[in-house]
Amino acid sequence: MKRTLYFAFVLVVGIISCNKEDETVEFAFSHDYEFTISEDSISIDTVLAIPSTDITSSLKEQTEQNNSLLSLVKEVHLVSINIEAIDPATQELSFLQDAELFLTSGTLAELMVASKNPVSATQGNSMDFDIEEGVDVLQYMKNTNFKFRASFHLRNNLPQATKFKITGEFNATAGVNN
């Protein structure tokens, strides 16, 4: 009888422990940066590379808000990225022929995370990029800072200095901090 009770107790504790280890939390977060392109800095058939300033990763803060730890994050994926003309907001993106976005952080190699090829000749003031499939950006987000780099190939001259904003939406999966 004692053996049966002991076995049942061990079995229940084992099942509870396994379930705790398998618990995960998923959460979304975003990062954005703004930059200005002057109308005289570029010309047709030019590739323009625009690095961002350091962006402080909020992954650590997000994991803590979601009952997890940075060390328990299993994966982070970029799910969408958008560029928008914000000043003037009427500036259309049809001056772009194609665009690529890269992620860099510390000593990690630059990673292409999104592109748009071709950009529509009738593109409005906002555009969603096509995300590279299956790219896990966990190591880039775990670093304190990271950078986006945008590479634009131009179809037409930009008629006026324009301020743009790029916004990336990320999803993370992490273990639960018990």
Domains defined along the chain, listed by start: 24-175 (2.60.120)
pLDDT-based confidence at residue 171 (cuts at 50, 70, 90): very high
User: What does the pLDDT average to over 126-152?
Assistant: 94
User: What does the pLDDT average to over 119-143?
Assistant: 95
Per-residue pLDDT tens over the stretch 20-47: 557 999 999 999 999 998 887 667 777 8
pTM of the model: 0.83
40-57 burial by CB neighbour count: b if 16+ within 10 A, else e?
A: eebeeeeebebebeebeb
Q: Which helix (H) or strand (E) holds 26?
A: strand 24-37
In the structure encoding, which two tokens stand for residue 50, read together? 């625009």
**8 pLDDT exceeds 70?**
no
pLDDT-based confidence at residue 7 (cuts at 50, 70, 90): very low
- d(C-alpha 67, C-alpha 97), whole Å: 44
User: What does the pLDDT average to over 148-156?
Assistant: 90
Cis-peptide, bond into residue 159, ω within 30° of zero:
no
